[in-house]
Amino acid sequence: MSATTDTIELTSPPTVVLATQKPTVEDDGSVPSADVPSRPEQPNLQKGTTAIIFASITGVTGISSLLSGLVTVVLPIMARDLGLSQSVLLWPSSIYALTCGCSLILSGAVADVVGSRTMYLLGCMLQSAFTLACGLARNSFQLLFFRALAGIAIAFCLPAAVSLITAYFPHGQRRNFAFAMMGAGQPVGFSVGLVVGGVLADGPGWRVGFYIAAAINTVFLGLAIFGLPRPAEPTKISLRGLRTEIDWPGALVLSTALGLLSYVFAVLTGNVSSIKAPTNIACLSIAVALIPAFVFWVGRQERLGRPAIIPNSLWRNTVFTSICIDVFLAWGAFNATETLLTFFFQDVQHLSATQTSLRFLPAPASGLATNIVMGLAVHKIRADWAVTVTMAVSCLSPVLVAIMKIRAPYWEYAFPAIALNAIGPDVLFTVSNLVITAAFPEKTQALAGGVFNTVAQIGKSVGLALSAVIASSITMQSGYPDKHGPRALMEGYRAAFWFILSITATTLVVSLWGLRNIGKIGLKRE
């Protein structure tokens, strides 16, 4: 890691997915820049092409988040129409996150071998098809099946999108802004999905939301096909390359562990007592056992100079490790806050789906503004202070809703809480992508994107599951006889929001310690 008085260049130890020799690792976990393989020089893109790249990548990732928001608000109506039982009520959301989360690492590794553009276009096409299929589903099994496949489809897109950004744009303002716009697509998409879902639920019906999303996604697919520049040196896909350049055992062990953990957390979100079921105990035990097995395996691969999906040496980089912890915590807090607020508006204040969704309009506005500012200014300010200050601002969100009265005016507590909730995670999105992609060699940027999105996805699952467990437990222990009444539910939600505050505040501690030497990032390199 090379530093000047006010900047730091992240050239952490690369993965050895494509390396034949083990990199030279410094004492702080970094490697000399000469050890990092590089891509051919990025193309000099015209403004129109740049705009198409921004629109396509932002749009496709935003549609995924839009569908997540839509499903969140239309779940009760969807369950009634398709006969979803109470035990699987949350699975239209959970199974999507489950299949996506356990596919990201592997899809990122494959994209680095077969080509990110190819993987991205394939994922976009599949996302359009499976989104349309969800709208056409006639029973609960079909819906869950196609939502699971849609999760795999977006897992093809997200790591590849990160790789495309680093391939098309050199270090500097355009790359920073591309990551910021990709980041804007996710919280803005989720909030717009809540709004659209609420309007459709009380009007034309939830199926229309999937039809609209599939149509818009297909438009972005067309933009990508004709607008994304082809690589100067087309990737030659070979079975030998797929077999030898990817750490298949490591990827499968990690994906299995993450999948099992995500499943257990998804089950806990719906029913806390389900942890006692033998199947769930077995899944949790296997997942826990696979984690040290994975650490042992990649350590062995790294020692032998063989492909390792995520080398253990990478975690010796304090900045990289701190950023991953921050992403895990921030995304867990952000997702849990928006989901619990949705339940609060509908179950405590008894608002309609439309009324609920309209209350989330401040989120996309503040999210878009934050990402635009961050994309333009990230290279001008210290990254540690940017993350710390904005996460401190986001700490106000759970505080406001935790002290909120049941019938409090919307503008007094909920409005500022919703507006402030995404500011910290949005800033962290841009900073973390710049850090994580800098920590991986240029030829494994899709894998870098897979690492970021996996950490974020698992953070969402864990944050929501723990918050739901706390809310449910406190509600059941409350002194109110009606455990489904507004007062009992609000007591549980308050406890969950205080827990979310503790998660968000932890990112401040991690950032102040782990990012203290990061300086400025996203600077143009000669």
Q: How many domains does the chain have?
A: 1
Domain residues for the domain of 486 are: 44-230+245-514
CA–CA distance, 55 with 160 (Å, rounded to integer):
15
Residues facing 520 on adjacent strands: 7
**Geometric angle at alpha carbon 382, from 379 and 386, rounded to 5°:** 100
**Which pLDDT tens digit goes with each residue over 322-379?**
999 999 999 999 989 988 998 899 889 998 878 888 888 888 889 889 988 988 888 8
- Residue 231: what are its φ and ψ, rounded to 5°? -65, 145
* Contacts of 159 by beta carbon, 8 Å cutoff, 6+ apart: 104, 107, 108, 111, 116, 119, 446, 447, 448, 449, 450, 453
Query: Which of 253, 254, 275 lies closest to 263, judged by CA?
Result: 275
Residue 236 binned pLDDT confidence (cut-offs 50, 70, 90): low
Determine, yes or no, domain membership for 32: no
Residue-wise pLDDT tens digits, 80-105: 888 877 666 778 887 888 888 888 99
Please identify which residue in the block is written with the tokens 């990690």: 254
pLDDT above 70 (res 62) = yes
**Separation between Cα atoms, residue 264 and residue 275, nearest integer Å:** 8
Is residue 29 a contact partner of residue 317, using CB atoms and an 8 Å limit? yes
The answer as to whether 31 is a domain residue is no
Tell whether 16 is covered by a domain: no
Q: What is the mean pLDDT of the chain?
A: 84
pLDDT digit string, tens, across residues 364-378: 889 889 988 988 888
The mean pLDDT of 107-117, rounded to a whole number, is: 90
Rounded Cα distance between 27 and 42, Å, is: 31
pLDDT in tens, 176-203: 999 988 888 877 788 788 888 888 887 8
Q: What distance in Å separates the CA atoms of residue 357 and residue 376, rounded to the nearest whole number? A: 30
Tokens at residue 298, please? 């990649």
**23 assigned to some structural domain:** no
Among left, alpha and beta (phi > 0; psi -120 to 50; other), residue 305 is left
Residue 123 DSSP code: H
Residue 3 covered by a domain: no
pLDDT band at 491 (very low <50, low <70, confident <90, very high): very high
Q: What is the CATH number for 392?
A: 1.20.1250.20
Cβ–Cβ < 8 Å for 78, 71: yes
The reply to whether 86 falls in a domain is: yes
Query: Would you say residue 193 lies in a domain?
Result: yes
| pLDDT tens readout for residues 435-478 | 888 888 788 888 888 888 888 888 888 888 889 889 988 998 88
pTM of the model: 0.83
Q: What are phi and psi of 270, to 5 degrees?
A: -85, -35
d(CA 150, CA 135): 12
User: Which residues are CB-contacts of 136 (< 8 A; sequence separation ≥ 6)?
Assistant: 207
Phi, psi (degrees; rounded to nearest 5) at 40: -60, 155
Q: Which amino acid is at 4?
A: T
Would residue 136 count as lying in a domain? yes
Q: Which residues contact 288 (CB under 8 A, 6 or more apart)?
A: none
